[in-house]
Amino acid sequence: MRDFVYRGLPSRVVFGAGVRRQLRAEVERLGMWRVLVLTTPRHTQRQLEGAAELRAQLGDLWAGTFDGAALHTPLTVTEVALERMRQLEADGLVALGGGSVIGLAKALALRTAAPQVAIPTTYAGSEMTPILGQTEGGRKTTLRDPRVLPQTVIYDVELTLSLPPGVSGTSGINAAAHAVEALYAPDANPLTSLLALEGIAVLGRALPRVVQQGWNLEARGEALYGAWLCATCLAHSSMGLHHKLCHTLGGALGLPHSETHTAVLPHAAAYNAAAVPEVMRGIARALGAENAPQALYDLGVSVGAKMALRDLGMPHGGLERALDLAFETPYPSPRPLERDGIRALLERAWAGERPETP
């Protein structure tokens, strides 16, 4: 038996098909009177329809919309949104979209204490965590604060039907990364480990089907369920080397979020594999494979993801800068951080090579 600490987080989850229609009831339950709806500038027809539907549903509770959410939550965007919120005298937030929108809602909640309802349309999982990542001056920093945790999350499977295949695959693997690191985090515990292995297994089965059959509501539901489990793991455990590298690459070099997670995850797992063999065996079993890092790589390939950082726009000259930043504030890692080892990890991720592990 081992000692551990588990702290439950106070969030309410509404899950199903069509449950976005319960938004007004959830807003009223939280005592909101003037709601600011947050979205991104990039809209599909379904997203436009969804935003219009939310406005109609909120009726007299709708205060306005801010559609300027941006990748990695730049402080400059947060300041503009904060001014918009003040002008409208909004006292509550509804975030409709992926990690960028939900991150902006968190940043605003941190500064105003406004309650939030998150309606995710991707599998990134930020909505279940008290973690906020923000970018300023080319650097991304993260904080953990219970004030940024949304009070209610509405998981409507129907809203993920329009998520493009490529985004669906990498968004889901981004979610799986939360679970992988939770399994060997210094504050891992039996409950999060159960959630992590189930989340990885569900995503491993669902994501290839989602990419091949984007219209399949059952597969979409499984993927969203798996993403929820994996995000819950991140909420209850420390981030490690993988997240540190991805935040560095995204914040300093402007690489896309979920795609970077997908390319780096197999190599971060390979770096730590020898230090946590039981964890790697568990991940391999969850994915129906013999080698966990290679199975994570193969999952990325199966969903059509770009597995090389160079194909995501990273110049080879950026590797050394990423390496320097990664060692400024190192995250916990089962295997001690060694500069040559991390350099080799980044080189393989940059080239898109399949991991080699014992």
Mean pLDDT computed over every residue of the chain: 91
The neighbouring-strand residues paired with 141 are 134
Q: What is the mean pLDDT of residues 59-74?
A: 92
- In this structure, which topology does domain 165-351 adopt according to CATH? Dehydroquinate synthase-like, alpha domain (1.20.1090)
Task: Tell me the C-alpha distance between 306 and 204, whole Å.
Answer: 17
Is residue 261 within 8 A of residue 173, CB to CB? The reply is yes
Q: What is the mean pLDDT of residues 276-296?
A: 97
Print burial letters for 34-49: b (CB count within 10 Å at least 16), e (below 16).
bbbbbbbeeeeeebee
Q: What is the mean pLDDT of residues 4-24?
A: 87
Kindly state the percentage of the chain with pLDDT values over 90: 72
Instruction: Give the pLDDT confidence score for residue 223 in this predicted structure.
Output: 96
* 190-204 residue pLDDT tens: 999 999 999 999 999
Torsion of CA 81, 86, 91, 96, to 10 degrees: -20
Q: 16 in the Ramachandran plot: left (φ > 0), alpha (ψ -120 to 50) or beta? A: left
pLDDT band at 252; cut points 50, 70, 90:
confident
Instruction: Give the pLDDT confidence score for residue 42 in this predicted structure.
Output: 67
Instruction: Give the pLDDT confidence score for residue 324 in this predicted structure.
Output: 87
Sequence-separated (6 or more) residues with CB below 8 Å from residue 115: 30, 31, 32, 92, 93, 109, 151
280 pLDDT above the threshold of 70: yes
48 pLDDT above the threshold of 80: no
* 301-343 residue pLDDT tens: 999 999 999 999 999 988 888 888 888 877 889 999 999 999 9
Instruction: Give the pLDDT confidence score for residue 266 in this predicted structure.
Output: 98
The dihedral built from the CA positions of residue 32, 33, 36 and 37, taken in this order, carries a sign that is positive
Instruction: Give the pLDDT confidence score for residue 47 in this predicted structure.
Output: 61
Q: What is the mean pLDDT of residues 118-138?
A: 89
Instruction: Give the pLDDT confidence score for residue 142 in this predicted structure.
Output: 83
CA distance readout (Å), 334 to 180, 185, 300, 353: 12, 8, 24, 23
Pairing of strands 35-38, 62-66: parallel
Instruction: Give the pLDDT confidence score for residue 326 in this predicted structure.
Output: 82
Q: Choose among 263, 208, 238: nearest CA to 334.
A: 238
CATH 3.40.50.1970 residue ranges of the chain are 12-160
86 pLDDT above the threshold of 60: yes
Is residue 96 within 8 A of residue 67, CB to CB? The reply is no
Place of tokens 């599909």: 44
The dihedral built from the CA positions of residue 155, 156, 161 and 164, taken in this order, carries a sign that is negative
Choice among 21-25, 81-85, 289-293, 319-323 with the minimum mean pLDDT: 319-323
Give φ, ψ of 239 to 5 degrees: -80, 155
* CATH architecture, domain defined by 12-160: 3-Layer(aba) Sandwich (3.40)
CATH 1.20.1090.10 residue ranges of the chain are 165-351
Instruction: Give the pLDDT confidence score for residue 11 in this predicted structure.
Output: 83
Task: Tell me the C-alpha distance between 76 and 83, whole Å.
Answer: 11
